[in-house]
């Protein structure tokens, strides 16, 4: 009897899988099983697809924002940096640093006709800036070097220029938070600047950022020979925190050193938190699908009561019966998870093409470029996410099968066979 019971235990997974995919005597049980498997397919596929889109969105945002943002900043604690040339040479002497560029920045008001718009005005040296950021590659009209041309020139973000209703060659008035004392009274300092170029990175700075030359900025913002600080580009973006920490230890002056993770970290933490919350929300769909398997197993146990009684009389132990129905539930779940993972990977890798096809077919534009900075669904499929989704789904499915399988193992064969 013991050897017969161990043999049944060895064949438990095969019996369970046969129960999963054989034709049921009760058609309603088959419908419930198909619904459970379909729910698992949709849950896993949607979770993988959404995670890939969230990864793509985070990568796109990181690339666009950091094309303008320096890898690190060095700012004087005293509020002005006069000997910035010497400091720049000292910083660029580090083997981990590519270049350093001075800057001045302040919040201003842009005015054109009756239109007023708040924004940020940043003064830079175009030649040095080309080595620090990718702003020159984002120019849609004109060039960054036009800031050093004749007169007082400014480069605006495309969205900001659209709001002000200006283009290259037009003039905008810039009002800065500085006061000018004249015999007629005290007035805010302002200057009319000629638009010499437009830039576009496809992110929020397009709507508020403007650039002038360092000389224009010093004159307009009253900095004279001083700058606010240095923008630093390191050889590796992701090692910038370590590089800037080393520079902080090496510099002896009254300076504050920051890296991009400190200046832009809140934005990327918000994106990461959003990804986590969306993942938990969609995981609840997978959880519901997994616990739908409970209904399938309960009905299957009721249908297979006679089979359970026969197996028990043949010497099958309770844990063998339990293993049969665990395998039964995991068979359904594994089929759904496998199909869902395959569908999710296919959707994630082709989401841009699918979206473009649907838009062309329906004649609509879901992400209007004039409204959204990112006008298409970016996708970045990471296999670690796929593995995490599959493992989490399998664990939830395993938990869902334990209670019905345990109840099946407690069925007394004598009571069942007495009424057969």
What are phi and psi for residue 373, nearest 5 degrees?
Answer: -70, -35
Residue segments in the chain with a per-residue pLDDT below the cut of 50: 1-2, 5
pLDDT for res 343: 92
SS in 3 state form for 73-85? EEEECCCCECCHH
pLDDT at 287: 80
Quote the pLDDT of residue 22.
Answer: 58
CA distance 322 to 317: 9
Q: Name the helix (H) or strand (E) containing 54.
A: helix 27-66
Contacts (Cβ under 8 Å, ≥6 apart) of 133: 67, 68, 69, 70, 231, 233
Maximum distance among all Cα pairs of the chain, rounded to whole angstroms: 113
Tokens coding 49: 């697809």
- For residue 1, what pLDDT is reported? 47
| Cβ-count burial 193-204 (b if 16+ within 10 Å, e if not) | bbbbbbbbbbbe
Cα separation values, 26 from 40, 225, 296, 300, Å:
22, 88, 11, 9
Looking at residue 85, what is its pLDDT?
83
- pTM for the structure as a whole: 0.67
């Amino acid at each position: 009897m013991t050897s017969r019971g161990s043999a049944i235990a060895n064949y438990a997974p095969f019996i369970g899988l046969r129960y999963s995919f054989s034709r049921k005597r009760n058609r309603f049980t088959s419908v419930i099983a198909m619904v459970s498997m379909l729910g698992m397919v949709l849950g896993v596929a949607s979770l993988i697809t959404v995670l890939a889109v969230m990864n793509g969105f985070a990568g796109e945002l990181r690339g666009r924002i950091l094309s303008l943002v320096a890898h690190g900043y060095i700012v004087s604690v005293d509020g002005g940096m006069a000997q910035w040339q010497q400091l720049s040479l000292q910083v660029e002497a580090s083997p981990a640093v590519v270049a350093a560029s001075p800057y001045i920045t302040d919040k201003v008001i842009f005015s054109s006709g009756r239109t007023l718009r708040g924004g940020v005005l940043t003064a830079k040296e175009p030649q040095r800036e080309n080595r620090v950021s990718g702003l020159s590659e984002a120019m849609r009209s004109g060039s960054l070097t036009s800031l050093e041309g004749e007169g007082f020139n400014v480069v605006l973000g495309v969205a900001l220029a659209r709001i002000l209703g200006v283009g290259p060659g037009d003039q905008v008035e810039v009002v800065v938070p500085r006061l000018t004392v004249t015999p007629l009274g005290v007035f805010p300092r302002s200057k009319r600047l000629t638009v010499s170029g437009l830039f576009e990175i496809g992110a929020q700075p397009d709507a508020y950022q403007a650039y002038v030359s360092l000389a224009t900025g010093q004159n307009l913002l009253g900095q004279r020979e001083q700058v606010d600080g240095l923008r630093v580009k390191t050889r590796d973006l992701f090692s910038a925190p370590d590089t800037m920490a080393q520079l902080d230890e090496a510099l002896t002056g009254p300076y504050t050193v920051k890296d991009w993770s400190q200046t832009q970290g809140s934005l990327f933490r918000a994106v990461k938190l959003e990804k986590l919350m969306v993942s938990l929300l969609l995981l609840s769909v997978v959880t519901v699908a997994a616990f739908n398997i409970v209904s399938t197993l309960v009905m299957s146990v009721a249908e297979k009561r006679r089979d359970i009684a026969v197996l028990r009389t043949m010497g099958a132990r309770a844990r063998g019966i339990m293993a049969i129905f665990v395998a039964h539930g995991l068979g359904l779940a594994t089929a759904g998870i496998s199909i869902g993972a395959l569908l999710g990977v296919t959707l994630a890798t082709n989401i841009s093409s699918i979206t473009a096809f649907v838009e062309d077919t329906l004649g609509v534009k879901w992400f209007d470029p004039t409204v959204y900075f990112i006008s298409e669904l970016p996708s970045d499929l990471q296999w670690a996410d796929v593995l995490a989704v599959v493992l989490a789904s399998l664990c939830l499915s395993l938990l869902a099968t334990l209670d019905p399988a345990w109840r099946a193992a407690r069925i007394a064969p004598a009571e069942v066979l007495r009424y057969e």
